[in-house]
Structure formats: structure tokens, C-alpha cells
Chain A
């Protein structure tokens, strides 16, 4: 009698565990726009991330850009001149990182949970090769990368706020600066209860050049000789036209 009951219980638990991530209990989120077009007038844009939850809880929103290999240089003084003397390469640094939460992150969850889910710039996994730098030196290189990215407005300085209305609706505004690199971004929304993630949803966000800008970029990379010739001819024409115009006046 005891044994079948235990087996049944175990089966039930497993079913719940398997079903949980797929069902995405209690959370639904979307972006005001899934495609950010970089056109000639692009000067940065705010994208609204909004959604609903099925009851009390904390919401964390993370927007990440594609990962790149990112070298970082360090200068030192050699005979009175500041020059790059050391370099460390991060294997997988996201080009863009944004985070927003309904309450301060350290109140929402334990550091272990924050670290496991890369919540906050301090917990980003950047792929620093362990052989190259350890301990304090590694941390210094990490901080340097984050600081430089924050100066370019590509990493968030302080976590933004997710506004929750009536424990049901939430929204936050994601600012994409004018220098945001094109690529396929990911907007991740998490619902946390008692310091644990109970639900998560990922929404893709495509940032790409459109129109004349995109055409010129593609042209420059796919037919560089023709592009170079046109650039030269355009400049020659401009110079000649200017001369003609000014001779008359």
C-alpha cells in the first residue's frame, strides 16, 4: 500500500516539474515593438515591455544583445608615455545589457539566485579566460569592461524600475541608445516568488538597419571595389561642382 502511493506521488511531482517551464505559469509579456529599425533619423528609441502576472510576485526584466569577443586594453606609463601594455579578451560579452526589477534586486532574491540567472551587471558571465587573470585582477578587468560599456550607455548603470499595477499588470521602458549595435536581442521576463523563479518568458527583439542605411552597409561589404569607386567619383564630382558654382558667382 505504501509503496504504490509513494510512486504515485513521485510521478505527480515529476509531471509538475516537467510541465512547469513549458506552461510558463502565471506570466505573459510582450514588447511594444519586436523590430527596431535603424533609419537615417535614428537617435535612439524607447521600447515598452509590458505584461500580466497571475498574482503577487516580483518581476525582473533583462534585455541582452548578442554576445561578442571583446578585447580590453590596459595602459601603463612607459618612459613618461601612457601606452597599452596589457590586454585581456572576454570570450562572450553581450554588446548590450539592460535590467529592470519591481523591487531592488537584493531584496528579491539571494545572491546565489542572482548569480545563477545573471541578474545585474555584477553577475554577468563574460567568458573571462581563467588562465589569463584570477582573483582580484580578474575582477578589475571585469569592472573595467562594465565601466567602459556603461560609459557608452550600452550597459545599464542602475537597474531600472518595473512598475506593477494592482499585482496584475506590469511595464517597463527599455532605452536603446543611438549607438546600439544591430543584431538579434533577447528580452527575458521573470516572475519570482519567495526568492525563486516560478515563471519565465523570452521575447526576441530584432535591431536592424533598414532602407538606404542597410543598403549602403551591405554594398560596402559585398562590393567594396565598386563602393570605393563610387565614393571616389562622388567626391571628385562634388569638388568639381563646387568649383563651377563658385566660378560663376
Chain B
């Protein structure tokens, strides 16, 4: 059954969109990531124009992270204090990121910058998680605590020390603010929620417990994606409500099952799986950059 999308101006199979939403929602529930880094390339692959794919994906992430974080909240897995500080940084970062996006667009290299930042970020984050996941699985067998993984560095000497009771941490508020800011810039440029960067940073740099990380990042992503959706709707008119609703319908259902499945899986296995997923995406995208294109020429956006 085909449906015509009013903003994307293409017609796509309804069940394809529902299925896509369901799979991404499931992954988002399991790992606490928005799934934008998988969804956006897939939407472009099925023929949605890239600007519409990016903007609509942000809208879809709102819904799946709301339903995901409500379930996490019930289990007390959200550190609100940490989430709000991350969010403050995220808002500042995404506002500056949008300005940077326009600048790169004027320079005519936005596609390349998006692709390159995906490859670099996904590649480094993915391999880091894979290595750490494998190592902590081994350490667990030797009955060593995984908390040892974050060492004390100069980062812990920063001012504005704050106690985060839920995360059982005592560190500078500048740290989560800075992380939120950086991820905000990235999410505006790459059109994703940014959890695939945020989650590992919260685990490895802040040293938060994995269970709390998932809920807190979902909570923060709700508001970052609201900001992105709103800015995209106002500046580019590229949010397709029909596409978003179909993806949402699939993904909210998928996210519920994903959250349940995630609660049953051990934390180390979660990290390992997410690492594999992120690395796989990085490899796919880097092939796009390196393999000679079928046609050297491509069409720009007509005016």
C-alpha cells in the first residue's frame, strides 16, 4: 500500500515505513539511543530527500524517547539533575550547531562534512565500546569491579563540584555541561539525537552506571530533538508530519519491547552489541566515501 508524503513529495510503502520504525524503536529501547544514526541513512536509501529525512527523524525520536524514558522513570533509572545539566549544554550547543550547519551549506560541503563526521565518530565510539565491552566481560569473569574503568584525571579537578546522588558521583557540573554542549553541536550538524556519542561519554568519561545512563540519555534526548524539530520546521519546512507519524507508530511499539529486552540483557553484552552496531554503520558509511561512485555527477536541489 503506497502513501504519498506531502513534504517529502514521494510515495512510499506504508508497511515499509511501519517496519522501519519498529526495528529502530526496538534498538532505541534496548540501548537508550535515539536510533537516528541508523534511521537517517535508511530513509535516504529508500528515497526520502536528505533534508526531509534528517528533520523528520528528529520528530520521530521525540516519541520513542518519551515512551522509553517514561518506562525508565518508573524504574527510577533517570538522574534528573545530571539530565538537566546535560540538557542546558545541549540547548546551547545545538543553537550554535544550527548556525554552523548554515555556514557549511553555503560553502557547499555539508554532505561531505556530515558523512565524514559520521564515519569518524561512529568509528571511534564503536571500536572503543567494542574493546571496553570485551575487556569488562573478561574482567567480570575474574570477579573484578567494572567501576575501576574510569580513572581519576584532571577532569575531576574542575570547579563547581556537584553531588549526583542517583548516579553515585561527585564531580564538576562543567563536565556534563561540556559533554551536552558538544553533543548538541553534533546533533544539529548530523541531524540525530546524539545518544550514540552521549551514552559512551556518560559511561566512560562521567563513569555513570549503565542502567542510569540509558534512562538519563533518553530523558535528555526528548528535549534536544524537540529543539531540532522546531528549528527545522521553522527554517527549512522539512518536517514531514505524515512520515513522522508512520515512523512513530512503528517505533513507539518497538521501543516498548526494546526497553523490556534491554532490562533482561547484561550491561556488558549491551555495550558489546551497541559497539558492533555503531561500528557496522561506520564501515557502511566509509565505503560510501571511498568506493568510486557509480556516477560522478549528481543533481543538486533545484530552485
Q: How far does the Cβ of A124 sit from chain B's closest Cβ, in whole Å? A: 15
Whether, in the assembled complex, B292 has its beta carbon less than 8 Å from a beta carbon of chain A, the answer is: yes
Which residues of A, 174-193, contact B by the 8 Å Cβ criterion? 178-179, 181-182
Answer whether A80 and B9 are a contact pair too, CB < 8 Å, given A68-B302, A220-B239, A235-B59: no
Residues of A close to B95: CB separation below 8 A: none
Q: How far does the Cβ of B249 sit from chain A's closest Cβ, in whole Å? A: 7
Whether, in the assembled complex, B265 has its beta carbon less than 8 Å from a beta carbon of chain A, the answer is: no
Query: Looking at B116, B244, B290, B296, which has the most chain A CB atoms within 10 Å of its CB?
Result: B296
Whether, in the assembled complex, B226 has its beta carbon less than 8 Å from a beta carbon of chain A, the answer is: yes
CA distance A214 to B239 in the complex (A): 15
Q: How far does the Cβ of B296 sit from chain A's closest Cβ, in whole Å? A: 5
Whether the pair A144, B295 counts as a contact (CB closer than 8 A) is: yes
Whether the pair B299, A216 counts as a contact (CB closer than 8 A) is: no
Answer whether A148 and B299 are a contact pair too, CB < 8 Å, given A80-B290, A81-B289, A238-B248: yes
**Chain A residue with Cβ nearest B232:** A228
Residues of A close to B242: CB separation below 8 A: 40, 213, 216
Q: How far does the Cβ of A108 sit from chain B's closest Cβ, in whole Å? A: 31
Among the 9-residue stretches B105-113, B147-155, B183-191, the one with 4 or more Cβ atoms under 8 Å from chain A is B105-113
Binary CB contact string for chain A from 149 to 162 against chain B (1 if under 8 A, 0 otherwise): 10110000000000
Residues of A close to B11: CB separation below 8 A: 42-44, 178-179
Residues of A close to B2: CB separation below 8 A: 41-43, 178
Binary CB contact string for chain A from 67 to 88 against chain B (1 if under 8 A, 0 otherwise): 0111111111100111110010
Which residues of A, 53-68, contact B by the 8 Å Cβ criterion? 68
Tally of chain A residues near chain B (CB < 8 A): 64
Residues of B close to A28: CB separation below 8 A: none
CA distance A228 to B2 in the complex (A): 25
CA distance A74 to B301 in the complex (A): 14
CA distance A40 to B102 in the complex (A): 32
Q: How far does the Cβ of B108 sit from chain A's closest Cβ, in whole Å? A: 7
Residues of A close to B233: CB separation below 8 A: 220, 224-225, 227-228, 231
CA distance A216 to B70 in the complex (A): 30
Residues of B close to A76: CB separation below 8 A: 296
Q: How far does the Cβ of A87 sit from chain B's closest Cβ, in whole Å? A: 7
Q: How far does the Cβ of A38 sit from chain B's closest Cβ, in whole Å? A: 6
Q: How far does the Cβ of A234 sit from chain B's closest Cβ, in whole Å? A: 7
Residues of B close to A71: CB separation below 8 A: 299-302
Whether, in the assembled complex, B158 has its beta carbon less than 8 Å from a beta carbon of chain A, the answer is: no
Whether, in the assembled complex, B7 has its beta carbon less than 8 Å from a beta carbon of chain A, the answer is: yes
Whether the pair B64, A239 counts as a contact (CB closer than 8 A) is: yes
Whether the pair A228, B230 counts as a contact (CB closer than 8 A) is: yes
Whether, in the assembled complex, B71 has its beta carbon less than 8 Å from a beta carbon of chain A, the answer is: yes
Given contacts A224-B235, A228-B232, A231-B59, could you give 11 more A-B pairs where the C-beta distance is less than 8 Å? A69-B302, A81-B116, A95-B302, A145-B297, A152-B299, A213-B4, A225-B230, A225-B234, A232-B230, A240-B66, A243-B66
16 contacts between A and B (CB under 8 A): A40-B242, A41-B2, A42-B4, A42-B11, A70-B300, A73-B300, A76-B296, A144-B295, A216-B242, A228-B234, A228-B239, A231-B59, A234-B244, A235-B229, A238-B248, A239-B64
The 4 closest A-B pairs by CB, nearest first: A239-B66, A228-B233, A71-B300, A144-B297
